[in-house]
C-alpha cells in the first residue's frame, strides 16, 4: 500500500541560522478509479481508505445510493518499475441492475487534489439532484457544540499533526461526538472518504449527522453533503457564493468561519439552537 507520509531532507532557515534536517511530508499519489474496467477518473490523493473514497465518489456523483449497489472493489494493473503493485488503480464492479455512470460523470482523466469539479466533461453535469432530502431533517445543534468541534477534529488528525499538510472531514452527532474522521491532501477526497465510510456502514442517508471540514466550503463539498443527505455543513474557513446558494437550495445549514465561539450562519440558521431546544 502507498505510504501516507514521506520523509525528505530540507534546509531550514531561521533567525538563528541554517541547518539540515529531515521533514515529514504528506504523501500524494494518483488513484485511477474504474467502473467495470472503464476508466472514470484519476484523482491525486493521500493513499489509504481508497475503497471508501471510491464509494463516496460514486455516491456523491449520484451513481449509487447504498453499499449493496457495488458488487466488488479490487486493485488492479498499476505496477512500479520493479513490477510491484502500486495500489493506485481501483476497479469497482456495480451490482446487477445498477446503471453505469453517465458520460457526464467522466472526468477529463485528471483531477487535482484541490479541485474535483473543474475536470467535469460537461458543465451541465456539475449540478446533481440528490436522491435524499437534506432540508427535511430536524437535525439541530447548539452553538456550544459547534464551538468545540474544530478542536475535536484536530485531535484526530494524526497525519496533519506530523506533516501540517492534510485536510480533514468529520461526521458529527448533535451532541458533538465524532462518528468518523478522514484526512487527505484534497478537500473533496477527505469528504468522499468519510461519506464512503458512512455508505459502507449502512448509515446513508445521513439525515441525523453534520459534516465538518477543516478548510473552506466550496460548491462541490456542499453538493457532496447533499448527495449523502447531510443537512448540516460546518467549515473552519469561508464558503463560496455558489456553496451558499446550493446549501439554501437544498434546505441545508451552512456554517463558515467556525473558530471557537465565533461563526457565521449563512443558511438554515434554525438548526443552530439553544440547549433546551435540541
The DSSP letter of residue 114 is S
Cα–Cα distance, 212 to 215 (Å, whole number): 9
Q: Tell me the catalytic residues.
A: 115
| DSSP codes, the chain | ---SEEEEEEEEEETTEEEEEEEEEE--EEEEEEETTEEEEEEEE-SS-HHHHHHHHHHHTTS-SSGGGEEEEEE-S-B-TTS-B-S-EEEEEEPTTPPPPPGGG-BSS-B-SS-SSTTBS-GGGSS---SS-GGG----B-HHHHHHHHHHHHHT-HHHHHHS--EEEEEE-TTS-EEEEEEESSHHHHHHHHHHHHHHTT--S-TT-EEEESS-B-HHHHHHHHHTT--EEEESSPBPHHHHHHHHHTT-EEEEEEETTEEEEEE-GGGB--GGG-
Say if CB 271 and CB 233 are below 8 A apart.
no
Q: Which three cell numbers stand for residue 151?
A: 478542536
Query: Residue 26 and residue 132: Cα distance in Å, rounded?
Result: 35
Amino acid at each position: 500500500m502507498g505510504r501516507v507520509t514521506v520523509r525528505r531532507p530540507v534546509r531550514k532557515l531561521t533567525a538563528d541560522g541554517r541547518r539540515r534536517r529531515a521533514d515529514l511530508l504528506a504523501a500524494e499519489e494518483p488513484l485511477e478509479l474504474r467502473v467495470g474496467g472503464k476508466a472514470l477518473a484519476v484523482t491525486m490523493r493521500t493513499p489509504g481508505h481508497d475503497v471508501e473514497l471510491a464509494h463516496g465518489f460514486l455516491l456523491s456523483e449520484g451513481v449509487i445510493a447504498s453499499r449493496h449497489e457495488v458488487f466488488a472493489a479490487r486493485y488492479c494493473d498499476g505496477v512500479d518499475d520493479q513490477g510491484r503493485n502500486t495500489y493506485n488503480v481501483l476497479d469497482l464492479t456495480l451490482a446487477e441492475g445498477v446503471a453505469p455512470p453517465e458520460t457526464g460523470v467522466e472526468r477529463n482523466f485528471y483531477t487535482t487534489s484541490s479541485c474535483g469539479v473543474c475536470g467535469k466533461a460537461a458543465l451541465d453535469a456539475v449540478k446533481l439532484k440528490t436522491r435524499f432530502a437534506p432540508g427535511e431533517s430536524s437535525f439541530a445543534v447548539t452553538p456550544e457544540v459547534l464551538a468545540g468541534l474544530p478542536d475535536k477534529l484536530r485531535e484526530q488528525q494524526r497525519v496533519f499533526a506530523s506533516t501540517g499538510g492534510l485536510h480533514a472531514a468529520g461526521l458529527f452527532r448533535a451532541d458533538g461526538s465524532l462518528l468518523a474522521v478522514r484526512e487527505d491532501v484534497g478537500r473533496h477526497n477527505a469528504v468522499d472518504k468519510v461519506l464512503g465510510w458512512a455508505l459502507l456502514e449502512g448509515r446513508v442517508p445521513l439525515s441525523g449527522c453534520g459534516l465538518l471540514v477543516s478548510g473552506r466550503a466550496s460548491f462541490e463539498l456542499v453538493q457532496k453533503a447533499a448527495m449523502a443527505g447531510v443537512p448540516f455543513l460546518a467549515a473552519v474557513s469561508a464558503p463560496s457564493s455558489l456553496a451558499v446558494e446550493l446549501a439554501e437550495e437544498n434546505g441545508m445549514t451552512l456554517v463558515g468561519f467556525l473558530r471557537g465561539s465565533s461563526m457565521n450562519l449563512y443558511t438554515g440558521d434554525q438548526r443552530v439552537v439553544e440547549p433546551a431546544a435540541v
